[in-house]
Structure 1
Amino acid sequence: MELTDCQLLVTGGAGLVGSELTRQLVPDNDVVVVDDLSNGLQDSIPDDATLLQGDLTLQATVDEVITADIDAVFHCAAADKYVNSDDPRKQFETNVGMTHSVLERMDEVGVDNIAFTSSSTVYGEAPRPTPEDYAPLEPISNYGAAKLSEESLLSVYAHSHDVTVWNFRFANVLGPRFGAGVVPDFVEKLDDNPDVLTILGNGRQEKSFMAVEECADAIRHVVEHASGAATMHTYNLGTRTTTSVDRIADIVADEMGLDPAYEYTGGDRGWTGDVPKMRLSIEKLAALGWEPTLSSDDAVRRIAGQLVDRLETN
């Protein structure tokens, strides 16, 4: 699909990935963002995009924003984006229900293209690097189970309702804004107490981290180059390298000019459902002609530096 002169809808377009994707799409397309601003920031939305503030868990909002003139939906919205949710049942039911409502409405009005932001958590504790065709998919977190359920609905609409789906399983995505995630967590902790940093788990958890700009660029590349209508295109998005939690702490401390002591909560993972080791195979993505320019360490350092700069200017 050529992303030029299109009418595009970005759900969750005020969030981390959605706002960056919107920024990259608006120069060549007419982009509408729908977001209830519960997780997102209005200031993140480019001026050239149209914001419709609304809750996609409400059918009236879904009906308003998904109309027959939309060429594609970029579905980034999630009612609760935290992997370790305080209310896992609500997280599961809300997000799966929202995606189902989006797909039903698309089918009703004849919109037949959707890109979906899934997660590496659908794989559970899988061998590394993990390819897209790895089976069985056995998520160990409620968040992963919800994403896998949403993928299943997308598969139904791809194979039985003539919808073209681009399904993206992310590594850990980093961007220059505070919120959930280990890098902003460490920056905030060290800003509060520069002498001691509390690290969840044992610090040896090791995962792939990807800059949000590269994540959005990869999404656009796949949508434009993965051929075949009315099918489901699943791609991993990540880097070929990983970074340990201890290494992230070192990088953040270095960017802040600090030398804190580390204390650990213990165990091999940060929370129940945390996958301690994760690296995705990106061979399928590379074969389509896209490679990340930043390593996992580079992405961590770049974002840590941006967050520290923001602290210093506020």
Structure 2
Amino acid sequence: MRNRVDADDSGTFYPFVRLLQAMILVTGGAGFIGGHLAEAFIRDGYDVVTLDNLNSYYDVDIKRRNVECAREAAEEGTGSYELVEGDIRDADLVDDLVDDAEYVFHQAAQAGVRTSVENPRRVNDINVEGTLNVLDAARESPVERIVFASSSSVYGKPTSLPYEEDHPTTPISPYGVSKLAAENYVRVYGDLYDLPTVALRYFTVYGPRMRPNMAISNFVSRCMNDEPPIVYGDGTQTRDFTYADDIVRANTKLLETDAADGEVLNIGSTDNVSIATLAEVIRDEIAPDLDIEYGERQAGDAEHTHADVTKANDVIGYEPTEDIRSGVRKFIGWYQENREWYEPLVRSS
């Protein structure tokens, strides 16, 4: 039997037995992006099942919050919610869940460039083998569409910017390699087995309930505690930071159209910002008198990312709504409201 769990108001998980006929399966659905997708789909009236192993890559308290938000959405609206505690590497469990789903949003992955440098085999096992489990299950079921969460990390070293989807893919971290390999499997399965698949290449996603070890959350935490933000490297490296709500909008479009089937799409903000500028923007919003400090650059970090979203706009009408300044202000507001529980996670990451 599936190990189905829910959470009470205190965030404590407990097992229950209740079968739902799910329309949407979100793998990694208690994580940052998966949690936002699950909540949005439920509020739109869909029945949602999420698969998540609730691992401790980052504090499970954030995943509890994601579960609580999804449950609240189900209580307030017409969609339903179910959390299945399990691992994407469990092929039998994945078969069972995919067989019930009309749409699969495959978000489950071992994230983190630095983590992948430390343990590349684990990243391959989860990100590639786990994806193959989803694809094999989909071959045997009438799935309407599989949407795969890829990453800008597949590009690696830029030959030109912004990245268009046909830019060479030369990842520089095991994480990027794993995402590219999984993305290629998604493409090949789509072609060979007539599976409707879409791959979305996300560009540095941030927003409420984000992983606490990300640069934005660390900069905000340090500034709120009157400590200078620390930039790793010389600060000239750039990122295309994408607000979580824009990621949700792009995914939601794929419930409405088959225009992107078989395609790879960049989902970014088009707003290319240096890490030093990011630190300054956050510093200026919170504690303008602080200096910026610099530390040793981390291995495996990309030099630049910058999304060309022309194709996504043409195919699904995607348009980012938040630039870095408006998005940072929103995140700082959320951080202040949730500081009591969130900040300890950031400080310990």
Using structure 1 for the length normalisation, give the TM-score: 0.88
1:252 aligns with 2:252: no
Q: Which has the higher contact order (CA 8 A, sep 6+)?
A: 1
Which one-letter code corresponds to 1:25 in the other structure?
F
> What is the SS of the residue equivalent to 2:125?
helix
1:125 aligns with 2:157: yes
Which one-letter code corresponds to 1:30 in the other structure?
D
Measured in 2, the distance between the counterparts of 1:172 and 1:246 equals 16
Pair 1:28–1:195, CA change in 2 (3 A): closer
Q: Which residue of 1 aligns with 2:108?
A: 77
1:42 aligns with 2:64: yes
What is the correspondence of 1:296-311 to structure 2 with a 5 Å cutoff? 296-311=324-339
Which one-letter code corresponds to 1:93 in the other structure?
D
Q: Gapped runs of 5+ residues in structure 1?
A: none
Pair 1:254–1:310, CA change in 2 (3 A): farther
Q: Which residue of 1 aligns with 2:16?
A: none
User: Alpha carbon RMSD of aligned pairs, Å?
Assistant: 2.2
1:17 aligns with 2:17: no
Q: Which residue of 2 aligns with 1:147?
A: 179
Measured in 2, the distance between the counterparts of 1:222 and 1:113 equals 8
Q: Which residue of 1 aligns with 2:234?
A: 202
Q: Of residues 272, 291, 299 in structure 2, which corresponds to 1:242?
A: 272
> What is the SS of the residue equivalent to 2:256?
helix
Measured in 2, the distance between the counterparts of 1:89 and 1:189 equals 33
Q: Which residue of 1 aligns with 2:294?
A: 264
Q: Say whether the 8 Å CA contact 1:74–1:114 is kept in structure 2.
A: yes
Q: Say whether the 8 Å CA contact 2:229–2:293 is kept in structure 1.
A: yes
What is the correspondence of 1:213-252 to structure 2 with a 5 Å cutoff? 213-227=245-259, 231-252=261-282
Post-superposition CA distance 1:189-229 (Å, at most 9, x none): 3455x24332101112211111101111112124523427x
Q: Gapped runs of 5+ residues in structure 2?
A: 1-20, 75-80, 343-349
Measured in 2, the distance between the counterparts of 1:209 and 1:147 equals 19
Measured in 1, the distance between the counterparts of 2:217 and 2:228 equals 16
Q: Say whether the 8 Å CA contact 1:255–1:308 is kept in structure 2.
A: no
Measured in 1, the distance between the counterparts of 2:52 and 2:63 equals 9
Instruction: Tell me by how many angstroms 1:311 deviates.
Output: 1.8
What is the correspondence of 1:157-196 to structure 2 with a 5 Å cutoff? 157-177=189-209, 178-191=211-224, 194-196=226-228
> What is the SS of the residue equivalent to 2:229?
strand
Pair 1:125–1:118, CA change in 2 (3 A): same
Q: Say whether the 8 Å CA contact 2:250–2:267 is kept in structure 1.
A: yes
Q: Say whether the 8 Å CA contact 2:231–2:294 is kept in structure 1.
A: yes
Pair 1:240–1:184, CA change in 2 (3 A): same
Measured in 2, the distance between the counterparts of 1:290 and 1:191 equals 34
Which one-letter code corresponds to 2:48 in the other structure?
V
Post-superposition CA distance 1:215-252 (Å, at most 9, x none): 11112124523427xx5121100112122212221222
Q: Say whether the 8 Å CA contact 2:22–2:49 is kept in structure 1.
A: no
Q: Say whether the 8 Å CA contact 1:251–1:301 is kept in structure 2.
A: no
Instruction: Tell me by how many angstroms 1:82 deviates.
Output: 1.0
Measured in 2, the distance between the counterparts of 1:306 and 1:251 equals 16
Q: Say whether the 8 Å CA contact 1:211–1:303 is kept in structure 2.
A: no
Pair 1:6–1:61, CA change in 2 (3 A): closer
> What is the SS of the residue equivalent to 1:276?
coil
Worse-matched range after superposition: 215-224 or 253-262: 253-262
Post-superposition CA distance 1:114-145 (Å, at most 9, x none): 001100111112211111122x3111111110
Aligned residues: 301
Instruction: Tell me by how many angstroms 1:313 deviates.
Output: 8.2
Instruction: Tell me by how many angstroms 1:170 deviates.
Output: 0.8
Instruction: Tell me by how many angstroms 1:98 deviates.
Output: 0.5
> What is the SS of the residue equivalent to 2:24?
strand
Measured in 1, the distance between the counterparts of 2:289 and 2:119 equals 36
Q: Say whether the 8 Å CA contact 1:166–1:223 is kept in structure 2.
A: no
Pair 1:106–1:226, CA change in 2 (3 A): closer
Measured in 2, the distance between the counterparts of 1:257 and 1:296 equals 18
Pair 1:305–1:202, CA change in 2 (3 A): farther
1:92 aligns with 2:119: no
Q: Which residue of 1 aligns with 2:45?
A: 28
Q: Which residue of 1 aligns with 2:140?
A: 108
Which one-letter code corresponds to 2:174 in the other structure?
N
Worse-matched range after superposition: 216-225 or 203-212: 216-225
Measured in 1, the distance between the counterparts of 2:223 and 2:319 equals 33
Post-superposition CA distance 1:257-307 (Å, at most 9, x none): 3532222125xxx42221121111011122232211211332233223322
Measured in 2, the distance between the counterparts of 1:187 and 1:308 equals 10
Worse-matched range after superposition: 5-14 or 236-245: 5-14
Using structure 2 for the length normalisation, give the TM-score: 0.80
Q: Which residue of 1 aligns with 2:303?
A: 276
Q: Say whether the 8 Å CA contact 1:117–1:167 is kept in structure 2.
A: yes
Q: Which residue of 2 aligns with 1:7?
A: 23
Worse-matched range after superposition: 163-172 or 109-118: 109-118
Give the share of equivalent positions with the same residue, in percent.
30
